[in-house]
Amino acid sequence: MHDGRSGARLSRTCSANLARTHARVGGSELSEPIPARRRYDGTLRRRQAAETRERIVAAGSDLLRGSPIRDWRALTIRAAAERAGVNERTVYRHFVNEQGLRDAVMHRLEEEAGIDLATLRLEDVADVATRIFEHVSSYPREPRRPLDPTLTEAGQRQRKALLGAVKARTAGWRVADRVAAAAIFDVLWSVASYERLVIDWRLDREQAVRAITWVIGLVEEAIGKGQRPR
């Protein structure tokens, strides 16, 4: 008798639970819409990442403003992070190393100067040179190390001789034009120009001399025709 009553109660309990389950299925609990999962907004993330990268590059560019154009010691990962208001790990997420950051800043400086080397044409060289020098002139000049007195005196004699040679052929020219023409000769025959050709451009001695004297000849011809610096 006792086991029979317990079994009956268990049966009634299971039936009641089953009825409630069916009621929930047909009722309001499952009729409510299931909230949709928020879609991942990759566009927003990419835009935020691009804005952060832009801020870091701009900060790197700003760090160089007070230094001579060749002095990049102020541009470090830490300094750029502080200037941009981010941590150093954020900088490393956008740039592999400090060299990568500096390369990006260099491209930014070229953009600021209006220089696009990827599309450079021969007829653009003079204009690009103007833009480069205008940009360089906005930076402080780097102090030059004093030369040996003998070299200083030799340089003065060379400049005086060049100015005299130009003056003899430019009677009607302004003094500023004469000085500019003489200065160009001084630049062309300088040791620095020769070294730039043989070291950076890897020309041999004969090629370097031929290239320099070719340009010197063009300037001589222009002066002979009365064509002064524009």
> From first to last of its 230 residues, what are the pLDDT tens digits of the chain?
445 555 555 455 545 554 454 444 444 444 455 555 656 567 888 999 999 999 999 999 999 988 999 999 999 999 999 999 999 999 999 999 999 999 999 999 999 899 999 999 999 999 999 999 999 999 998 888 898 999 999 999 999 999 999 999 999 999 999 999 999 999 999 999 999 999 999 999 999 999 999 999 999 999 999 999 98
How far is Cα of residue 35 from the mean position of the Cα atoms in its chain? Answer: 47
Structure-block tokens of residue 27? 């009722």
Q: HSE-up of 160 (CA within 13 Å, CB side)?
A: 6
Which of 91, 31, 89, 87 is closest to 60 using CA atoms? 91
Ranges of H-type helices in 27-122: 42-63, 77-84, 88-94, 98-112
Which of 85, 119, 91 is closest to 105 using CA atoms? 91
* Report field, pTM of the whole predicted structure over 0.75: no
User: What does each C-alpha distance from 15 to 1, 9, 22 come to in angstroms?
Assistant: 21, 10, 11
- By the 8 A CB rule, do 210 and 216 touch? no
Q: What does the DSSP 8-state code read for residue 118?
A: G
